Amino acid sequence: MIIRIWVCDGTLSSGVAGPVDVFAVANMLAAKRADPSGQPPLRWFVESMDGRPVQSASGQMIAVDGRMNPEASADAILVTAPYAPDIDRFLERREEVAALTRALRRQHERGAVLASYCTGNYLLAEAGLLDERPATTHWAKARDFTRRYPRVALRAQEILTEQDGILSGGSVTSYLTLAIRLVSRLSGAELAAATARMLLIDTNRVLQAPFATLIEEHGHGDRLVARAQRRMAATIQQASSLSELATHLAVSERTLNRRFKQAIGIGPLEYLQALRVEIAKQLLEAGTLSIDEICLRVGYADSSTFRALFKRLVGHSPREYQRWSQQLRPQCNTAPEKAVC
């Protein structure tokens, strides 16, 4: 089975090396179970648009095996893209993007499985291959992705989606989950499971939402919206309404709603809900308040309403999120002779 890994300047070097390591270990495990003289089940080639090495986001040079070819034999194409901050500039290189998307469409027509992760999903969307299909991407790019590609059924909370021979991975290190899924598609679930166990890859992780920051820094230039955001943060414990906020700002609710959507892509109510959940996440991580106390701190007298909102936005209940966040904390050895964290 042939896997072609398509790379470009600005991609993460680990996003190439990680999947390659997964494929290599899969081959090693397969060799132990079969005739040692047989061919390994997976072969891969790293390819760039012009056949030259590319420079990763960290400045490392990524060697390639040759030039991308839309007609080349392939069972799967793993396409990478520049890391999140650089994807906008990359998409402005219209001729290069057009050539790449034509090649992706051609390979899909020829029956190759297409796979990408993080901002690579922008390229699948640019090719029209995600229209009316489920997909995911980096959680921080979800709003931008939805604005650019409204026909895509974006599932930004999910680690991996799959339909019609197109695999879409979420944030950054989902490339490991994606690579395991490719092993499963091309060489069977048993070998994929053994590879995941050997590399300690948790294939049961299905949501990226707990990692997400639900609100972003202001940075939009709209003074009215910035004032509204500051007011919301200052009165977070109060169960104030949108009409009260609009009155405080001396604008109509309609104007406030329109300006919010223009500035940050969502309405004020949706922003306020996200803000309350984000603050609740921080309080849960601190672990000093009960969940009922946290609900009151973020303006919810009815804890059941807040729990439902939290579960919808984060993908876990508040209690589940608290346990998960505590597991991520470094464990400190507080013995007097060696207090190490």
Model confidence at 341: pLDDT above 60 = no
Query: Listing from the earlier edge strand, what are the strands of the sheet with 76-79?
Result: 66-67, 43-48, 2-6, 76-79, 113-117, 166-169, 160-163
**pLDDT reported for residue 252:** 95
Please, what's the largest Cα pairwise distance for the chain? Answer: 78
The residues, ordered by sequence, that sit 6+ positions from 321 with a Cβ below 8 Å of its Cβ are 210, 281, 284, 310, 314
What pLDDT score does 261 carry? 86
pLDDT digits (tens, 9 = 90+) for 207-256: 555 455 555 555 567 889 888 988 888 888 887 788 999 999 999 999 99
Higher pLDDT, 193 or 221: 193
Average pLDDT over residues 291-314: 89
Q: Which of 16-30, 120-134, 182-196, 272-286 has the lowest mean pLDDT?
A: 272-286
Tokens of 247: 């009155």
End-to-end Cα distance, the chain: 45
pLDDT score of 216: 55
Question: Structure tokens of 101?
Answer: 């998307």
pLDDT per residue as tens digits for the range 144-166: 898 899 999 988 777 888 999 99
What's residue 208's pLDDT? 57
Of 180-189, 211-220, 255-264, which gets the smallest average pLDDT? 211-220
pLDDT of residue 156: 77
156 or 331: whose pLDDT is higher? 156
Provide the pLDDT for residue 333.
Answer: 43
Q: What value does the mean pLDDT take over residues 72-95? A: 90
pLDDT at 278: 83
Task: Measure Cα distances from 225 to 99, 129, 144, 232 in Å.
Answer: 40, 36, 18, 10
- The mean pLDDT of 34-55, rounded to a whole number, is 87
Cα-based torsion angle of the residue sequence 157, 283, 326, 213 in order, rounded to the nearest 10 degrees: 30
Q: Which of 160, 204, 200, 202 is CA-nearest to residue 182? A: 160
Please give the Cα distance from 251 to 182 (Å, whole number): 53
Find the angle CA(100)-CA(104)-CA(106) to the nearest 5 degrees. 115
| pLDDT tens string 96-108 | 999 999 999 999 9
Band of pLDDT at residue 334, cut at 50, 70 and 90? very low
- Is residue 284's pLDDT more than 90? no
Percent of the chain's residues with pLDDT above 90: 51
Contacts of 310 (CB under 8 A, 6+ apart): 277, 280, 316, 317, 318, 321
Q: Is residue 327 scored above 90 in pLDDT?
A: no
Confidence category of residue 340, pLDDT binned at 50, 70, 90: very low
- Whether 205 has a pLDDT exceeding 70, the answer reads no
Which domains does the chain carry? 2-211 (3.40.50.880), 223-328 (1.10.10.60)
Identity of the residue numbered 188? G
Would you state the pLDDT for residue 107? 97
Is the pLDDT at 335 greater than 50? The verdict is no
Mean pLDDT value across residues 308-331: 78
Does the structure show a pLDDT above 90 at 180?
Answer: yes
Strands (E) in 109-224, as ranges, are: 113-117, 134-135, 153-154, 160-163, 166-169
- Supply the pLDDT for residue 328: 58
pTM for this prediction: 0.65
The residue ranking higher by pLDDT, 185 or 265, is 185
Whether the pLDDT of residue 337 is over 70: the answer is no
User: Please, which residues have CB within 8 angstroms of residue 278's CB and are 6 or more apart in sequence?
Assistant: 213, 214, 215
pLDDT (0 to 100) of residue 251: 94
183 touches 115 (CB < 8 A): no
Q: Which of 22, 17, 82 is nearest to 49 (CA)?
A: 82
